[in-house]
Amino acid sequence: MNSTNQNAPLLEVRNLSKHFGAVRALNDFSMAVRPGEVVALAGDNGAGKTTLIKAISGVFQPTGGEILLRGQPVTFATPQEAREKGIETIYQDLALADNLSIGANIFLGREPMRKAFGFLPVLDRKAMAEAAKATMGRLDFHVSRLEAPVSNFSGGQRQAVAIGRAVYWDAQILIMDEPTAALGVPEQRKVISLIHQLKAQGRGVIFISHNLQDIFAVSDRIVVLRRGIQAGERKISETNHDEVVKLMVGG
């Protein structure tokens, strides 16, 4: 497989395994995500979803198998490396600093600086605010008070900020772990519509949820995990809730 393969999926996982001692948390698992595709990852608690996303996002090394980005095999020693390659994970507990503005959160750890009076390096808050406005606009999310700390915003809005940060840094693959859990119904819809935006921009999304309604509302395909193995893969248009539940529990 070489780098010029245009038809290769954005992300492909081949025969991935992760063993913790004798426990096979993930066993010979394969899946792929293409540009503009939302792949739902479903499975009961302990089925291996978290293990899988941690292996993909560089939190730990797989025991076996390989991860390919646009057809190129990659390994990540740290989550930082995965992020630099365009894989961003959005955790359900929202990795935001609540006391900082949207812009400051987008740029957290990589703040732009400017020179005040021609010599004194200071944070470029204007650039941060403008980038925040433009980025949130791309997500069809319009916010007037760019200087307000994100604690002033609702759960869905904050979820949008976390997604906005990934979009700003040009993440090609977003792994979203239960993004709609702990949100009210209108907020869930907002997040679902954000995922549609990401899809329209040609990014790949791995969407983890317990909520089949949400999975069916947003995904193109669903991959079901059961006890660390791939229990089935279906196109959303060709399956239904009952079949997915059967795959999950092993009917």
Partner 1 sequence: MTSTSPAQPAEKHVAPQADHGDPARSLVARIAEGRAWLFLAGLLICFEVWSRLAFGATFVLNPFNLQSIAIFAVAPLLLATGQTFVIISGGIDLSLGFIMGLAAVIAAHATNMAGAAIPLPLAMLAGILASVIVAGVPGVINGLLISRLKVPPFIGTLGMFGVARGAAFLLAGGTTVPVQNSWFALLGNGKFYGVPYLVLITAVFVIVMHYLLSQTRFGQHNYAIGANVQAARRAGIDIRGHILRLYVLSAMCAGLGGALYAARFTAGAAQAGEPLLLDSVAAVVIGGASLFGGSGTIFGTVAGALVIAVIQYGLVFVNVEPFWQFIAVGVVIIISVLIDQAQRRFSGARQDE
Q: Does 108 bind partner 1 (CB under 8 A)?
A: yes
Q: Does 240 bind partner 1 (CB under 8 A)?
A: yes
Spatial contact of 223 and 41, defined as CB atoms under 8 Å apart: yes
Q: Does 237 bind partner 1 (CB under 8 A)?
A: yes
Q: Under rule CB under 8 A, how many of the chain's residues touch partner 1?
A: 54
List of E strands, 45-124: 64-69, 72-74, 87-90, 113-116, 120-123
The structure tokens listed for 171 are 């993440």
- Beta carbon of residue 71, minimum distance to partner 1 (angstroms, whole number): 27
User: Distance from CA of residue 205 to its chain's centroid?
Assistant: 6
What mask of x and - would describe binding to partner 1 in positions 157 to 176, judged by CB under 8 A? x-------------------
Nearer to partner 1, 123 or 181 (CB): 123
Q: Does 201 bind partner 1 (CB under 8 A)?
A: no
Q: Which of 74, 127, 181, 192 binds partner 1 (CB under 8 A)?
A: 192
Q: Does 39 bind partner 1 (CB under 8 A)?
A: no
- Beta carbon of residue 191, minimum distance to partner 1 (angstroms, whole number): 9
Residues whose CB falls within 8 Å of the CB of residue 12, separated by 6 or more in sequence, listed in order: 30, 31, 32, 33, 67, 68, 71
Q: Does 145 bind partner 1 (CB under 8 A)?
A: yes
- Beta carbon of residue 91, minimum distance to partner 1 (angstroms, whole number): 8
List of E strands, the chain: 11-20, 23-33, 38-43, 64-69, 72-74, 87-90, 113-116, 120-123, 173-177, 204-208, 221-226, 229-235
Cα dihedral across residues 160, 201, 189, 39: positive or negative: negative
Q: Which residues bind partner 1 (CB under 8 A)?
A: 79-80, 83, 91, 93-100, 104-105, 108-111, 113, 116, 120-123, 140-145, 148, 151-154, 156-157, 185-186, 188-190, 192-193, 196, 213-214, 216-218, 236-237, 239-240
